[in-house]
């Protein structure tokens, strides 16, 4: 089952005996666990029927013994095991998972790891409970996730503002969700659309001096704007690390190169799918392709690799990051 299906069942009070929640993205694991912890039992039932165990302080036998208890004056007892990735001999859970109590809801938080699909435990839990692997989203998936998150909250966001948040916060969904909630709270009454101005005012991200705006300046070959942004980055290196800027430029120009070789450029959906972007941003790559032919793009990608190594200390001769970035942008533009 995927995340939406699991949450849908939980909202309808449909529970399974075991939830084994694994994977690299803690956000979805935490949401499922929180839903069960808050809603499976009434407040009066939680006193005797909610048990929280931490993996670093326990053994698998303790988990099994807790799961085997019967609820007191309730339909269910809930046993939540946090940090279960620290439990030794997790495979021994099979002794309980083969025949779990229907009156127990056992939630296993197995973060940053996954069960070996070849093991018997995987099959047994799959047969008798829920196996959920929470995977990290790629950076290009974050703007879409932001849109979906805000839609559920009856809000929207400008595409450029979504890209700005993605650039600044990366794919840490917990952090992104927290910042979105802050923005929703700070919006003036009657406003439901988040803009770059809101982000700059309430999160502290500059809407004029960021990697997204640098891409636009390079796309337009706007030398003055590009230099202003680079100078701002040079004066604020902690907030604008050169390695991140080079990485984002690499991804941008790699997509420009892909754009050059898309046969059917008139079909916007096909172009967006090939570039793995929101169709709103196709025009940026179209403009960049007009400014930089395939040969120049290949040259730029080679430059980015060279300056990435220099920024990491190879043949840099102690050149400050700001100066390296100025050199790089000059070579891209000329």
Domain containing 54 — which CATH number?
3.40.50.300
97, 219: one domain:
no
Q: How far apart are CA 253 and CA 51, in angstroms?
A: 52
pLDDT digits (tens, 9 = 90+) for 169-212: 888 999 999 999 999 999 989 999 999 889 888 887 888 888 98
The alpha carbon of 23 is separated from its chain's Cα centroid by a whole number of angstroms, namely 13
Q: Residue 295's pLDDT is what?
A: 96
Are the C-beta atoms of 308 and 257 separated by less than 8 Å?
no
Are the C-beta atoms of 325 and 235 separated by less than 8 Å?
no
Are the C-beta atoms of 19 and 107 separated by less than 8 Å?
yes
186, 292: one domain:
no
What pTM was computed for the model? Answer: 0.78
121, 144: one domain:
no
- SS3 letters for 269-293? HHHHHHHCCCHHHHHHHHHHHHHCC
pLDDT grade for 58, boundaries at 50, 70 and 90? very high
Residue with tokens 């109590």: 101
292: containing domain: 211-333
Q: How far apart are CA 33 and CA 39, in angstroms?
A: 10
Neighbours of 214 (CB within 10 A): 24
Look over the chain and give the mean of its residue pLDDT values, rounded to a whole number: 93
Q: Residue 42's pLDDT is what?
A: 96
Domain count, the chain: 3
23, 130: one domain:
yes
* DSSP states of 226-266: HHHHHHHHHH-TTTS-HHHHHHHHHHHHHHHHHHHT-S-TT
Are the C-beta atoms of 107 and 22 separated by less than 8 Å?
no
Domain limit, last residue, from 179, 202, 225: 202
Q: How many CA atoms lie within 13 A of 161 on its CB side?
A: 21
126, 45: one domain:
yes
What φ, ψ does residue 64 adopt, rounded to 5°? -65, -45
299, 193: one domain:
no
**34: which 2 tokens?**
């929180």
Domain limit, last residue, from 202, 231, 257: 202
CATH of residue 191: 1.10.8.60
pLDDT digits (tens, 9 = 90+) for 256-285: 999 999 999 999 999 999 998 888 889 999
26, 125: one domain:
yes
End-to-end CA distance of the chain: 52
33, 98: one domain:
yes
Q: Residue 316's pLDDT is what?
A: 64
User: Residue 69: pLDDT above 80?
Assistant: yes
61, 12: one domain:
yes
234, 317: one domain:
yes
7, 129: one domain:
yes
More confident residue, 316 or 200: 200
pLDDT digits (tens, 9 = 90+) for 9-43: 999 999 999 999 999 999 999 999 999 999 999 99
pLDDT digits (tens, 9 = 90+) for 113-133: 999 999 999 999 999 999 999
36, 150: one domain:
no
Domain limit, last residue, from 134, 160, 192: 134
């Amino acid at each position: 089952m995927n995340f939406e299906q699991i949450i849908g069942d939980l909202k309808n009070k449909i529970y399974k005996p075991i939830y084994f929640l694994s994977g690299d993205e803690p956000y979805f694991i935490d949401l499922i666990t929180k839903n069960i912890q808050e809603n499976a039992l009434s407040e009066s039932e939680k006193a005797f029927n909610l048990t929280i165990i931490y993996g670093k302080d326990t053994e698998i036998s303790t988990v099994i013994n807790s799961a085997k208890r019967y609820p007191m004056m309730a339909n269910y007892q809930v046993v939540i095991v946090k940090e279960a990735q620290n439990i030794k001999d997790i495979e021994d859970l099979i002794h309980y998972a083969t025949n779990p109590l229907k009156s127990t809801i056992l939630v296993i938080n197995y973060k940053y790891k996954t069960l070996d699909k070849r093991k018997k435990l995987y099959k047994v839990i799959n047969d008798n409970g829920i196996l959920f692997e929470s995977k990290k989203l790629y950076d290009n998936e974050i703007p879409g996730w932001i849109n979906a998150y805000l839609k559920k909250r009856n809000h929207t966001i400008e595409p450029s503002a979504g890209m700005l948040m993605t650039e600044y916060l990366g794919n840490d969904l917990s952090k992104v969700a927290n910042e979105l909630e802050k923005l929703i709270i700070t919006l003036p009454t009657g406003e439901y659309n988040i803009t770059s101005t809101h982000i700059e005012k309430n999160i502290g991200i500059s809407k004029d001096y960021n990697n997204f705006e640098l891409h636009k300046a390079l796309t337009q070959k706007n030398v003055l704007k590009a230099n202003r942004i680079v100078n701002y980055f040079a004066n604020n290196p902690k907030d604008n690390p050169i390695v991140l800027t080079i990485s984002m430029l690499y991804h941008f120009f790699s997509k420009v190169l892909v754009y050059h070789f898309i046969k059917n450029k008139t079909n916007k959906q096909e172009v967006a799918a090939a570039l793995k972007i929101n169709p709103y941003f196709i025009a940026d790559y179209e403009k960049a392709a007009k400014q930089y032919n395939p040969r120049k793009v290949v040259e730029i990608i080679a430059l980015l690799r060279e300056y990435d190594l220099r920024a990491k200390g190879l043949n840099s001769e102690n050149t400050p990051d700001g100066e390296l970035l100025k050199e790089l942008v000059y070579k891209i533009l000329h």
